[in-house]
Amino acid sequence: MLALIIRRIMQLVFLLFGISFLVFSSMYIAPGNPAAIIGGPTATAEDIAAIEENLGLDDPFLVQYARYVSNAVQGDFGYSYQTSQPVADAIAVRFPNTLKLAIASMIVAVVIGIITGLVSALKQNSLLDISATTFALAGISIPNFWLGALLILVFSVNLQWLPVGGMTNPFYTVAGIKELILPAITLGTGSAAMIARMTRSSMLEVIRADYVRTARAKGVKEKNVIWIHTLKNAMIPIITVIGLNFGFLLGGTIITEKVFAINGVGRLMIDAIAARDFPMVQGSVLLVATLFVVVNLLVDIIYTYIDPRIKFD
- Residues forming contacts to another protein in the complex (CB under 8 A) are 15, 18-19, 22-23, 26-27, 29-31, 137-138, 140-146, 149-150, 152-153, 157, 247-248, 250-252, 254-255, 258-259, 269-270, 272-274, 276, 278, 281, 285, 288-289, 292-293
- Cβ 218 to another protein, closest distance in Å? 27
- Coil/strand/helix, residue 86: strand
CB 290 within 8 A of CB 195: no
Give the shortest CB-138-to-another protein separation in angstroms: 7
Task: Between 186 and 215, name the residue whose CB sits nearer to another protein.
Answer: 186
Cβ neighbours for 196, distance < 8 A, ≥ 6 positions apart: 112, 113, 114, 116, 117, 120, 132, 135, 136, 139
DSSP secondary structure of 139-150? HHHS-HHHHHHH
Closer to another protein at the Cβ: 142 or 302? 142
Query: Closest distance between another protein and the C-beta of residue 232, in Å?
Result: 24
Q: How far is the CB of 142 from another protein (least distance, A)?
A: 5
Cβ-based neighbour number of residue 122 at 10 Å? 17
Give 184 or 249: the residue with its C-beta nearer to another protein: 249
Rounded least distance, CB 44 to another protein, Å: 26
Shorter beta-carbon distance to another protein: residue 43 or 270: 270
Largest CA distance in the chain: 86
Q: What's the burial of 28, exposed, middle or buried (CB within 10 Å: 0-12/13-18/19+)?
A: middle
Q: Which has the closest alpha carbon to 28: 54, 67, 82?
A: 67
With both helix axes pointing from N to C terminus, report the angle between 127-141 and 174-207 in degrees, rounded to the nearest 10: 120
Q: Which residues of 60-85 are buried (b: 16+ CB within 10 A; e: fewer)?
A: eeeebbeebeeebeeeebbbbbbeee
Please list, in sequence order, all residues whose beta carbon lies within 8 angstroms of the beta carbon of residue 142, skipping any fewer than 6 positions away.
189, 190
Q: What minimum distance in Å lies between the beta carbon of 221 and another protein?
A: 29
CB closer to another protein out of 38 and 289: 289
Least Å from the CB of residue 219 to another protein: 29
On whether the CB atoms of residues 235 and 306 are closer than 8 A, the answer is yes
**Residues sharing a CB contact under 8 Å with residue 25, sequence separation 6 or more, in sequence order:** 61, 65
